[in-house]
Amino acid sequence: MGQPNFKQKGDTNMKGKKNESKKQGRKSVKIEKNIQEELENSLLEQIISFGIESYLELIEAEITEICGERYKHMTNREFTRWSNTATPLILGGRKISISHSRIRNIKDNSEKDIEIINRYKNKELLSQRQMEQMIIGVSTRKYKRSLETDTKVKTYSDSKSTVSRNFIAMTKAKLDAWRNEPITAVYPILIIDGIVYADTTVLVAMGIDKTGNKKALGAWEGSTENSRTCTDLLQSLIERGLKPSNIKLAIIDGSKALRKALKDVFGSEILIQRCQVHKKKNVAEYLPKEKRESIKRAMTEAYKAENYNTAKKLLINIKNSLTEKYPQAARSLEEGLEETLTLHKLSAHKDIRKSLCTTNPIESLNSGIRNVTRRVKRWRNSDMVIRWVCTAILESEKNFRRINGYVHMDTLLINIENCGKKVLEENQRVA
């Protein structure tokens, strides 16, 4: 009987050794990571230092080109070196005090500017660098430290408060410019959804052009359930040049307020595609936890069906299976069901249907927003939230790609023209 006890003890010891080994492994990985970061930072500092030293050489080269070599006699000299001065300039996001010779015109005793210095005196260059640093996650407190490097040149940064003021001013300016930017392109498809961040909901509008390119058109504080906010957003898009007659299809989360605003502003002919992901979530809310995933999977398979009749039949079967035990879930599935199948009715190719059957193109911006805002410790107010969110959207937009299935856009738009009225009538009849 003693043998089993001995084995159990041995198993425990082995388990302890394994855990200790895992801890050591994790510690080793962490150390390696820290070493790697230190090496990278060291390399970066060397590169920056080399850049500053090289810049000093460029200044001296320009002075030499104008004045000639030091201590060399020249009979036809027009300019000469003057007394030394210290000039603050912007380089690599930092103010640098550069000591250099001044250039004097021998004939009239006037001072000649040094072109390469004037090029970097622009205050905007510093502010732009500050904004870039903030966006990539450097806090205002750490901004100065992010610019420190081992160099003979004395460098200094703006104070924390100055960095904050510059960043606020620049983000406000960018936001205002974006909100007032004329809309000249044609966007037959409009996606509207709300992004919730730091307890603030931001309503975002995205346009998709005829070639499948995405464009963030605007963002306002407020939810899709606020009819006034929805209407104001749509009206502002029209004021900036968006033509209601060009909008053929809108993808929304299912909000009645947003749906009404779209019909009021763009006309009753606009087709609505309800987000299938939102619909699945809405149905799941009325189900016990153990049933949610299976029903969501069944609905996903239904939405994957190649044609409208098959997809609708599968969804109706799911609704019927829920009616007795979960009547609220059944009613939720049935509500707006036709508008979740609008793209099916238009015989949209499966690739483009997958891209446009949800509001995911907007919701995917959340990851970009998190990347930009991950180091923000405290949100002071909703204005701060919307500034950061809009800044993140504009940064994310640089990496936008065309929607999957964009090669089928022409066919989809033709089908909308040919079948749009019939689809609209069916949706309205069922609604």
Each residue of 121-131: pLDDT tens digit? 655 544 545 44
Q: Residue 244 and residue 328: Cα distance in Å, rounded?
A: 36
Q: How confident is the model at residue 395 (pLDDT cuts 50, 70, 90)?
A: confident
Burial 326-358 (b: 16+ CB within 10 A, else e): beebbebbbbbbbbbbbbbbbebbeebbbbbbb
**The pLDDT value given to residue 142:** 46
Across 33-37, average pLDDT:
53
**Using CA of residue 283, residue 289, residue 295, residue 296, what is the dihedral sign?**
positive
Q: Residue 172 and residue 388: Cα distance in Å, rounded?
A: 10
Q: How confident is the model at residue 137 (pLDDT cuts 50, 70, 90)?
A: very low
**The pLDDT value given to residue 155:** 47
**The pLDDT value given to residue 43:** 45
Neighbouring-strand partners of residue 263: none
pTM of the predicted structure, to 2 decimals:
0.65
Contact residues for 115 (Cβ-Cβ < 8 A; gap 6+): 62
Q: Residue 237 and residue 300: Cα distance in Å, rounded?
A: 33
pLDDT in tens, 244-267: 999 999 999 988 999 999 999 998
pLDDT in tens, 284-330: 999 999 999 999 999 999 999 999 999 999 999 999 999 999 999 99
Mean residue pLDDT of the chain comes to 79
**The pLDDT value given to residue 70:** 82
Share of the chain above pLDDT 90, in %: 39
Closest CA to 257 of 286, 282, 233: 233
Do residues 205 and 219 touch, judged by C-beta distance below 8 A?
Answer: yes
Q: How confident is the model at residue 147 (pLDDT cuts 50, 70, 90)?
A: very low
**The pLDDT value given to residue 117:** 76
**The pLDDT value given to residue 33:** 54
Do residues 44 and 52 touch, judged by C-beta distance below 8 A?
Answer: no
Do residues 296 and 268 touch, judged by C-beta distance below 8 A?
Answer: no
Tell me the one-letter amino acid at 343. L
**The pLDDT value given to residue 295:** 97
395: helix, coil or strand?
Answer: helix
Across 389-399, average pLDDT:
81
| β-pair type (155-156, 94-105) | antiparallel
Q: Is 281 exposed, middle or buried (0-12, 13-18, 19+ CB in 10 A)?
A: middle
pLDDT in tens, 76-94: 888 998 888 887 766 555 5
Q: Residue 353 and residue 355: Cα distance in Å, rounded?
A: 5
Number of H helices, E strands in the chain: 18, 9
Angle at 188 between CA 253 and CA 394, to 5 degrees: 70
Tell me the one-letter amino acid at 177. A
Q: Is the pLDDT of residue 95 over 60?
A: yes
In the chain, domain spans: 29-174, 183-430
**The pLDDT value given to residue 413:** 94
Chain centroid to CA 54: how far?
Answer: 36
Contact residues for 327 (Cβ-Cβ < 8 A; gap 6+): none
Q: Residue 55 and residue 44: Cα distance in Å, rounded?
A: 17
Q: Residue 251 and residue 253: Cα distance in Å, rounded?
A: 7
Q: Is the pLDDT of residue 30 over 70?
A: no
Do residues 157 and 144 touch, judged by C-beta distance below 8 A?
Answer: yes
- Structure letter (DSSP) for residue 348: -
Across 199-213, average pLDDT:
92
Q: How confident is the model at residue 425 (pLDDT cuts 50, 70, 90)?
A: confident
**The pLDDT value given to residue 251:** 97
Q: How confident is the model at residue 422 (pLDDT cuts 50, 70, 90)?
A: confident
**Using CA of residue 82, residue 88, residue 90, residue 91, what is the dihedral sign?**
positive
Q: How many residues are there in the chain? A: 431
Across 343-357, average pLDDT:
95
**The pLDDT value given to residue 4:** 45
